[in-house]
Amino acid sequence: MYTSGFLKCIRDAAGRLGLTVEVVDKANGRVIRVCSASGGAAFFGATPVQLWPLNNALSVSVARDKELTLRLLKEAGICVPDTVIAFQDAERYAHLDPPPACTSTFVESPPLEFPVVVKPNDSLAGNGLSFVYEPTSLAAALRCAASHSNGVLVQELLCGKDVRIYGYRGRGILRIERGTRSVPADGCNTTAALLADFPAETEQARLSLGSFIAQYGNQVFPAGQRISPYPAANYCVTGRVGEMSRELSDEERAICRTVYTSLDLVFCAIDCLVDKDGSVRVLEVNGNPGIEMLYSDSENEAAVEVIDFLVKEAIAGSLDNAGSLLEM
């Protein structure tokens, strides 16, 4: 039987709310149904099936296309990083006018100034995500991303505080500051020496580390400055959970409303970078978000309240849909 931390979290919420749980996928345990005494029922799944019953399939597929999502949000007035797309196999899109670029052209002529982020256009959980600090590593990063998706994004690397906002019907319900692995500079040793034992378990982490050292290895940074060659904040990669809060800035609240109206996502995770002046840029939107950061801290009252709220809303939504069908 498949063990899912997500489904365990949903079962725990059901227990707190007095709901019953049925295992639908009896062979593998990847799908459960949560039921209320009033007749409501909602399905929840474990990867690779969809986790949540809250969003429609079209909106989830749009959000999974990172380049399309960023274009739609930019058109709606949201600030996003400069981003360009190319394809490993551009022949599939030769009918477009103009036809899209092939990844090989990016190697010959990088589309943005370094450093950049290179990532697959439609992969999840940080798969294929690399940070490139100088030209010699770009080809390998493009190949790594292309092994996960035909479409590959090259994006400007921004500095700032990494924040994930969970949104529900255009309202921010939880804000999480995220950290990543780093080492402190000591003002004496070179970056290469400080990073000699830096953990890099995946291909993309090793590639990013190598590129960082190639660019900055001989530098000595001021004591106390944090050095992070692979600043991926995905919890399943190297991310760390920081402060959780229900308090959002006015700009963050406005972003939640715009994401809802632009993408029609009932529930989503909005990944942002907030600079030192408080300005926010949206990096991507997840229409089928994991909540590992929430159930990793099961004692956090805000996290527990959000999970219970989402389960209750899924049940309530099933009753609303049932009523709509009966009225037809």
For 12-142, where are the E strands, in sequence order?
Answer: 20-23, 31-35, 41-45, 83-87, 101-102, 116-120, 130-132
pLDDT score recorded for residue 125: 74
- Pick from 54, 8, 33: which is nearest to 264 by CA? 54
**At residue 325, does pLDDT exceed 70?**
no
Q: Which residues pair with 165 in a beta bridge?
A: 175, 270
- Provide the pLDDT for residue 124: 79
pLDDT at site 113:
96
Distance between CA 148 and CA 155 in Å, rounded? 17
Alpha helices in the chain (DSSP H): 5-17, 57-64, 66-75, 103-108, 138-146, 191-194, 203-216, 250-263, 292-295, 301-327
Q: What is the pLDDT confidence band of residue 319, given thresholds at 50, 70 and 90?
A: low
Whole-number Å distance between alpha carbons of 265 and 287: 7
Reply yes or no on whether the pLDDT at 239 is more than 70: no
Which pLDDT band, with edges at 50, 70 and 90, does 15 fall under? very high
Model pLDDT for residues 113-166, shown as the tens digit of each residue = 999 999 999 987 788 999 999 999 999 999 999 999 999 999 999 999 999 999
pLDDT tens, 263-297?
A: 999 999 999 999 989 899 999 999 999 888 777 65
Mean pLDDT for the chain overall: 90
pLDDT of residue 324: 39
User: Is 90 exceeded by the pLDDT of residue 13?
Assistant: yes
List, for residues 26-75, the tens digit of each pLDDT value: 999 999 999 999 999 999 999 787 899 999 999 999 999 999 999 999 99
Among 34, 12, 11, CA closest to 22: 34
- At residue 237 the predicted structure's pLDDT band, cuts being 50, 70 and 90, is low
CA distances, 154 to each of 75, 85, 87, 141, 294 (Å) = 19, 6, 11, 10, 30
